[in-house]
DNA sequence: TTGAATTATGTTATTACATAACGGGAGTAG
DNA sequence: CTACTCCCGTTATGTAATAACATAATTCAA
């Protein structure tokens, strides 16, 4: 982790082990199958790298890690990321220019994120959108997507 | 406006006239004076351009417009933008990589934005943060800043 | 099962967004 | 006056994302 604005260690990890990743990849494949979409090799590889990283990861880090030796070309990864995002398998974090695996497949698509500026990890929380929905209504504004990102310090980094 | 994903016109404007801009610039100068900060020429020019634009504007558009002839250097504008943001005079819109003048000097710094994908304009709304605050509390997460951006269609573009 | 349409990938190049680093000048406190 | 701090101009580079076009894989209908 290259985030350290502090001196403590950042090993309060929940990283998925390889079994966990395999399981998530299998779920993702099933989901695509059900949706009539193709989970191709580069898409799967991209998702694997996102899952393996413990927190939001940058597109160019994915590009660097994509092949055992040498980097991928940017469009390969960016196209995969777009697809995965459309499928609801990952989220883009706007305020970080980064991507994180979706951890809440259940809900009505509007997640919020708690982003630790110290350790770089994120927590996805389901949020009631009533506030912004109400304001939009008052302005006769039709909301399509909502981005909610809170930056600060997580429990372990306080 | 180069946003048109539609064919109607986008002249539902509230652009400030030059008097309005002058007034806002004077306010800004007063605010800096009160804060013991310097409102220098490049900062004032940057703010002027942001105010003159009717909606979020990109840094490189500011760079292009900075001088009557020829562009400014990026650091000139980015430094000014940082300063203006710290002073609460402008907001950065994360999901657009763009900047907009702050329209609500009164409140406890957490604005939300309604961003029209059709005409490119934004509306700043004051929002109660109870939802995310509550979630953060549950996770023992210390929130520093919150980004809330809703994309969709404004009243005039429905 | 062949071939046309669609969808996805590979590749090159470019565009867009943002900051590092350094030298110099203007304001200011001792 | 001078040391200090803050800000600016400039060059260079770093980082993020997409345009455009060629090729390959998959699908589906005839």
Chain A CB within 8 Å of residue B137 CB: no
The whole-number pLDDT of residue B7 equals 67
Lowest-confidence pick of A26-40, B21-35, B101-115: B101-115
**How confident is the model at residue B2, as a pLDDT?**
47
Domains of chain A, CATH where assigned: 18-157 (1.10.10.10)
Q: Is B123 on the interface with A (CB under 8 A)?
A: yes
Query: What six digits make up the tokens of A73?
Result: 């070309």
Over residues A71-126, the pLDDT tens digits come to 999 999 999 999 999 999 999 999 999 999 999 777 665 789 999 999 999 999 99
List the 15-54 stretch of A: residues with Cβ below 8 A of B. none
Q: Over 80: is that where the pLDDT of A38 sits? A: yes
Could you say which DSSP state residue A96 is in?
T
d(CA B103, CA A3): 33
* CA contacts within 13 A on the Cβ side of A134: 7
Q: Which residue is nearest to nucleotide D11 (CA to C1')?
A: B73
Strand D bases with any atom < 7 A from protein Cβ = 6-12, 15-20, 26-27
Q: Quick one: three-class SS letters along B74-134?
A: HHHHHHHHHHHHHCCCEEEECCCCEEEECCCCCCCCCEEEEEECCCCCEEEEECCCHHHHH
Q: Among all strands, which nt has the closest C1' to B74 (CA)?
A: C18
Alpha helices per DSSP H over chain A: 18-35, 41-52, 59-65, 74-86, 130-138
Rounded Cα distance, B20 and B23, in Å = 5
Residue A45: band (very low, low, confident or very high) from pLDDT cuts 50, 70, 90? very high
pTM score > 0.85 for this model?
Answer: yes
Quick check: A93 and A108 in contact, CB under 8 A? no
CB B57 within 8 A of CB B50: yes
Going by C-alpha positions, the residue among B83, B71, B86, B101 that lies closest to residue B145 is: B86
> Would you state the pLDDT for residue B110?
72
pLDDT tens per residue across span B24-51: 999 999 999 999 999 999 999 999 999 9
Is-contact B111 B150, C-beta < 8 A? no
Is B154 close to A141, i.e. CB distance below 8 A? Answer: yes
Nucleotide with minimal C1' distance from the CA of A59 is: D16
Q: Which of A98, A109, A86, A76 is nearest to A151 (CA)?
A: A98
A142-154 residue pLDDT tens: 999 999 999 999 9
Token representation of residue B98: 């763009």
């Amino acid at each position: 982790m290259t985030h350290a604005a502090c001196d403590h260690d950042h090993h309060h990890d929940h990283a998925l082990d390889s079994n966990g990743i395999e399981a998530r990849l299998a779920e993702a494949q099933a989901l695509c199958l059900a949706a009539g979409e193709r989970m191709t090799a580069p898409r799967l590889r991209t998702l694997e790298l996102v899952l393996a990283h413990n927190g939001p990861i940058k597109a160019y880090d994915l590009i660097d890690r994509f092949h055992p030796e040498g980097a991928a070309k940017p469009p390969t990864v960016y196209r995969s990321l777009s697809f995965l995002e459309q499928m609801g398998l990952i989220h883009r974090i706007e305020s970080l220019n980064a991507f994180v695996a979706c951890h809440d497949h259940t809900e009505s698509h509007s997640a919020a994120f708690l982003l630790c500026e110290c350790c770089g990890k994120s927590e996805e929380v389901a949020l009631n959108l009533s506030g912004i929905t109400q304001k939009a209504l008052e302005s006769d504004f039709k909301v399509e997507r909502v981005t909610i990102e809170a930056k600060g310090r997580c429990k372990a980094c306080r």
